[in-house]
Every structure is written in C-alpha cells, then in structure tokens.
Amino acid sequence: MKIFIDGKFYRDRAAKISVFDHGLLYGDGIFEGIRAYNGRVFKLKEHIDRLFASAKAILLKLPMTHAELMRATVETCRRNKIRDGYVRLVVTRGIGSLGLNPKGCKRPSVIIIADRIQLYPPEFYQRGLDIITVPTLRNLHGALNPAIKSLNYLNNILAKIEANNGGCEEAVMLNAEGYVAEGTGDNLFIVRNGALATPPPSAGALYGITRQTVIELAQQAGLGVSEPNLTRYDLFNADECFLTGTGAEIVPVVKIDGRVIGSGRPGAITRRLEEDYRALTKISGEPI
C-alpha cells in the first residue's frame, strides 16, 4: 500500500507522523471518507467542498488547493490500483508543541489512504439492522458543531460503545432537546406514507454526502422529502427506516429499541433507493 503524506508517497510501514502532531495530541484536524466504484471516485468534488467547509469552521488553512486535493486523491487510488475501495483523506493542524495553543503549528499535514472497506456484513443489508437509542447525546452546536467532520470522534465512539454493549451494531443518537440527530456514523431516514423524512442539520445531523444523494434520488423518483425534527415516537411508527453513509451506503433498519419497524423487513422504498444508488455509483465519479 502507498500512502500520500504531504506531497510524497510512502509504503504503509514507512508512513509516519510526528508524535507532536496536534491531530494526534488533540484531535485537531478534519477528514473525509470517500468511496471509489468501478474505477471512479464517487462525489469527490462534494467531499472536497465539505473538507474546505470544515477547515474554515476550525480556522485551518489547507496547504493544497481544491484541484490539488482532487488530483492527489485520484493519484493515491491509481497507485494502489483501487477500482472499488475507500479513501480516507485527513488534514491535521500539523506539528506543534505539547501545549494546547495551535499557534505553534506552522503547517497542516495532508494524509490520503486508499484501501478497501466493508462496514457491515452482507446479511445486514439483506435482513436489516436492529439498533438502539443510546444515552450519549450528540454534541451541542455551541460546543463542537456536528457539521464539522473533525478528527475528534469521541462523542460518536462513546455512542458506538453503548450500542455494542447493547448487542447492536449501530445506535440512534439524540440531541439535548430529545430530537433524533443521527447514528454514530450515519445519517438516518424514515419512510412514512410513501415519503421520506430525515433529521435536519440543525438537530445535529451531519451534512452527509450520501444523505444528499439519497434526497436527490428520492426527488427524482417523485417521492416527497422533508427535514422535520423527529422523536423516537416517529421512528417507532415509521413504515421503513434506513441509514446512509459513505461507508455504509444504504442499510435498512428493521427494529429500534425493541420496536419492529413496518413489516420487520427492509421496505420497498428502501430497496428501490438502494438500487438507484448502486446504479449511480457505477457511472458517476472522477476517473482513476
């Protein structure tokens, strides 16, 4: 495997960062998870757009242009002979001191890893997930805005631990007001009376690239889409439910907190959106 670090490629065992990097010491940085399908990098521009938005939010000046980051991502896939895989693009604040102040970090560091990923076993896509609501709340906007895709994912990891302790692969995270925010690493949708609903970013949901793609596919199919505040009651009484994310793609949910969702099997609208999404990934993206 060849890994891109600050303009150069290194073998995986030789790919290293400093122990003084603020990304390691404090989670001070941002990232994107990107997919490649059929020899193309899917939604690359949108991912780099979001990376720049996250960087602006934390006052991090990216050391490469938008076009340079796109080219470096594609080149990393090319050098690793990736046709279908996963790309992790990381930007850290860079090397500083043991102190918290980021002023000592002179230059951010860019790391790109291209490999393969399978987030959930195939049977979960076939029969659907059983998930639970966890006690850990989604970060407050005034503390660490969930829209920032930062390296500090401890909030999500704690929720994932609680899901695992409850015997589940995934969880529902609520915000401080009790509304549904998202999963530990995925956006959440429900289907009710033939229309889709998904929590708004103001509730603590990430501006998901897959989330937006699903919204567009649903609208093209003539389905209504809304972004209301949702409660657990709304989830329990949905006809269908599914999660979306770059790694997860679209994965059905068939039980939440012991309540069977709809028929207890992945629904027809979920299946249609899965098919439309897969069809789009086969023909769309930056050629590797």
* Residues 29-41 pLDDT 10s: 999 999 999 999 9
Interior CA angle at 51 toward 181 and 124, to 5°? Answer: 45
pLDDT of 119 reads 74
36 inside domain = yes
* 206 lies in the same domain as 140: yes
φ, ψ of residue 105 to 5 degrees: the values are -85, 105
232 inside domain = yes
- Predicted confidence (pLDDT) per residue in 81-123, tens digit: 999 999 999 999 999 999 999 999 999 999 999 998 877 888 9
pLDDT of 235 reads 98
* 134 lies in the same domain as 58: no
Tracing tokens 């659907």 back to the chain, one arrives at: 128
**Beta sheet of 286-287, edge-to-edge order:** 8-11, 2-5, 109-115, 85-92, 29-37, 40-41, 286-287
pLDDT of 116 reads 87
* Residue 188 tokens, joined: 């959440």
Whole-number CA gyration radius for the chain: 19
pLDDT of 117 reads 81
288 inside domain = no
By annotation, the residues acting in catalysis are: 149
Domain at 55, CATH number: 3.30.470.10
Domain that holds residue 259: 122-283
* 197 lies in the same domain as 57: no
* 63 lies in the same domain as 204: no
pLDDT of 118 reads 74
Q: In the chain, how many domains are there?
A: 2
* 263 lies in the same domain as 148: yes
- pTM for this predicted structure: 0.95
* 192 lies in the same domain as 103: no
Give the residues of the chain that fall short of pLDDT 70: none
pLDDT of 261 reads 98
Residue 150 CA to residue 30 CA, distance in Å, equals 4
